[in-house]
Chains A and B, each alone.
Chain A
Amino acid sequence: MSRKAWTSLALHAALVSGAVVTLAPLLWMLSASFMTTGEANAAPPPLLPGRATLAQYRELFVRLDLGRSFVNSSILALCAALLSVVVNAAAGYAFAKLRFPGRGRLFAGLLAAMVIPGQVAMLPVFLLLRSVGLVNSFAGVILPGVASIFGIFLVRQFASSVPDELLDAARIDGAGELRIFWSIVLPLCRPILVTLGVLTFLGTWNDFMWPLIVLTDDAKWTLTVSLASLAGEHVQDTELMMAGAVVTVLPALLLFLFLQRSYIDGITAGSIKE
């Protein structure tokens, strides 16, 4: 074998073993979710179910009403994504293309505020929500995260590439500024808006700390909060917990697989923001 072939072999051996280790926890989760109760608690742990069953999923949805949490998570993530796209697209476009008094200073302020960790604002935001009666409401979960400095940034960067001539031509044709934003800018910025929407959807779907703090009524819980509570009560029920984990992880993974490009573009765009 040539040296090139050896290099290639070593390279792929490393990549494949990395892939196996990376996927192992997820594959085991999937496999154990089809086992009968108690089957996974054996030494050595079985890798595949003896006879695959949907009993754990039935238990989750029929008796434990996890379907409700699933719906809650879906509604919250969808609303958060839509609101976030509209609000941040508007601000990002204005910062990129419209001249208004205070623009430079406001933007510098946003940049500086990026270093503030989210935990600092959490307690006062909770007190604020409590004083206006939004604790234990979906609005209380979503609203604090709708406007995002990162989101504004992402759209601003993209909207800067919209040619000024296009906007001026529309102005000469008599189009109003809001109409230009809605009919020209938003369609042109579609790729970055999809990115922002996917990032926000997955961020809300996967979020744990904030819904845990805001939602007190278990009928309003999201999947993550329900799952954490389930983990406390059913710590021995490995197979049931794995089914719950599959129900929570799978939608996020599928969405990522379908919209992979957009998601990864968002992550890399964040890294060249300097």
Chain B
Amino acid sequence: MRRLSSWRAREARAGLLLVAPGLLLLALFLALPVVAALLLSLTDFDLYAIGDPSAARAVGLGNYARLLHDPVFWKALGNTFFFVVFGGPLTVSLSLGAALLLNHRLVRFPGLFRTIYFAPVVTTLVAVAAVWRYLYHPRFGLLNAALGFFGIGPVDWLGDPHWAMPAIVLMAAWKNFGANMIIFVAGLKAIPESLYEAARIDGAGPIQRFRKITVPLLAPTFLFVGLTTTIGYFQLFAEPYVLSGGEGGPMNATLSVALFMYKQGFRWWSIGSAASIAFVLFAVILAATLLQRRLQKGGEA
């Protein structure tokens, strides 16, 4: 008995020792900073305060109130919702389409196609954004050349405020659909083949089998993919940054909330104001997450 209890004590000590480095780092670089960011968002912490923190003054909810009256913030929020509303469904449907094709019984070399579709996911965003800038070039771009082949006139993809947003969405969808596709393929593989066999014997056609078996059994995967994709588009930063030369496009046409936060914080050093933007973004993402959880629970009930 003594031996057992000394084992237990040793196990507990080892457990604490092994989690300590990870938890300390998370406390230092996540928990503490989140609390600090909340406090910062209630101050006018700026460039002067970096040198001398006592120069910062508490302003209550002043930063948040100012945001509500800042047209640039509303522009950035509107743009971010555009990314979510158009980019999300486009990316998810491309992923699902590719996954359904790949998962078909008759496909030869599914591994090869999977690798090709996945390749953009591992590429470096800054590098491929540079490539897309040339693909989008109004005169020498490959995209306009291809459109011209079908008789469609040249589009100034990145220079025209109306086209800059769809251009970013298109590139982001190309870059990201492969990751979701892999998850959908895993979800499809988990559906037992016997269900389809049974349905076939019962005389169900392909569309009926898809609606009655694939759709309901894939729903949890669908919600997961939908949520991660949505969150990703809410946080969109590097795509608009690189495609618009670090500015957020002509007249803030492509400014996202994350890019706005970056510019406020790290270019103009209005850190208090930038922290309040970060928390608004957090609140929006949290709301989306809770909504998704509700949907998932509703689906299971």
* Residues on A facing B (Cβ under 8 Å): 4, 7-8, 11-12, 14-15, 18-19, 22-26, 28-29, 32, 40-45, 87-88, 90-91, 93-95, 98-101, 103, 106, 110, 113, 115-128, 130, 143-147, 149, 152, 171, 176-178, 181, 202, 205-206, 208-209, 213, 223-224, 227-228, 231-232, 235, 238, 241-242, 244-246, 248-249, 252-253, 255-257, 260, 263-264, 267-268, 271-272, 274
Contact = CB atoms under 8 A, between A and B. Distances in A.
A43 B137 CA distance: 11
A28 B132 CA distance: 10
B117 to A, nearest CB: 6
Given A7-B106, A32-B134, A181-B14, A248 B126 contact: yes
B18 A181 contact: yes
Contact of B122 (A224, A238, A263): A263
B140 A202 contact: no
B130 A45 contact: no
Contacts, number: 282
A245 B127 contact: yes
B130 A143 contact: no
5 contacts: A115-B289, A123-B33, A124-B32, A208-B238, A256-B119
Nearest to A272: B186
A204 to B, nearest CB: 11
B172 interface: no
Contacts of A256: 118-119, 122
A208 B130 contact: no
B101 A11 contact: yes
Interface in B85-127: 98, 101-102, 104, 106-108, 113, 115-120, 122-127
A2 B72 CA distance: 60
Contact of B31 (A113, A126, A171, A176): A113
B160 interface: no
A228 to B, nearest CB: 5
Interface range, B side:
35 or more
Contact of A87 (B14, B16, B22, B37): B22
Given A12-B108, A209-B237, A256-B122, A44 B128 contact: no
A44 B23 contact: no
B67 interface: no
B168 interface: no
B124 A205 contact: yes
A90 B20 CA distance: 9
Contact of B14 (A94, A213, A231, A238): A94
Given A121-B34, A274-B224, 20 more contacts: A24-B142, A28-B135, A41-B140, A43-B140, A90-B18, A91-B21, A98-B15, A119-B235, A119-B237, A120-B281, A121-B37, A130-B50, A147-B24, A177-B13, A208-B241, A228-B126, A241-B134, A245-B127, A245-B130, A249-B123
A156 to B, nearest CB: 11
* 6 A-B pairs with the lowest CB-CB distances in the bound complex, closest first: A177-B14, A100-B15, A98-B15, A91-B22, A147-B25, A124-B33
A26 B131 CA distance: 8
B151 to A, nearest CB: 14
A129 B246 CA distance: 24
Given A171-B7, A253-B119, A271-B224, A224 B127 contact: yes
A124 B40 contact: yes
B74 interface: no
A205 B127 CA distance: 12
A257 B242 CA distance: 26
A87 B21 contact: yes
Given A124-B36, A177-B14, A181-B14, A244 B130 contact: yes
Contacts of B17: 178
Given A119-B261, A249-B124, A91 B142 contact: no
Interface in B255-301: 258, 261-262, 265-266, 271, 274-275, 278-279, 281-282, 285-286, 289
A91 B50 contact: no
Interface in B112-169: 113, 115-120, 122-128, 130-135, 139-142, 145, 148
Nearest to A100: B15
B57 interface: no
Contact of B278 (A7, A22, A87, A122): A122
A12 B107 contact: yes
A100 B282 contact: no
